[in-house]
Amino acid sequence: MAAVIRLSSVCRRGIKPLFYQSTLLVRPLAVPHKHQEQPYLLTARIHSSQNLQASSNSKAASLHWTAERMLSVLLLAMGPVAYFNPGPVIDYSLAAALTLHGHWGLGQVLTDYVHGDTKIKMANAALFLLSTITFTGLCYFNYNDVGICKAVALLWSK
**Residue ranges of the binding site for heme b:** 101
51 binds other proteins (CB under 8 A): yes
Q: In whole angstroms, how close is the CB of 48 to other proteins at the nearest point?
A: 5
Q: Residues forming the annotated binding site for a ubiquinone?
A: 113
Q: In whole angstroms, how close is the CB of 36 to other proteins at the nearest point?
A: 16
d(Cα 40, Cα 32) in Å, to the nearest integer?
Answer: 10
87 binds other proteins (CB under 8 A): no
Q: Which of 16, 24, 37, 43 binds other proteins (CB under 8 A)?
A: 43
Binding residues for other proteins, total number by CB under 8 A: 53
146 binds other proteins (CB under 8 A): yes
Q: Which of 39, 87, 88, 105 binds other proteins (CB under 8 A)?
A: 105
∠ CA 112-116-117, nearest 5°, is 110
CB atoms within 10 A of CB 95: 21
Q: Residues forming the annotated binding site?
A: 101, 113
Residue 105 DSSP label: H
Q: Is 104 exposed, middle or buried (0-12, 13-18, 19+ CB in 10 A)?
A: middle
Q: Within the chain, what is the greatest distance between any pair of CA atoms?
A: 93
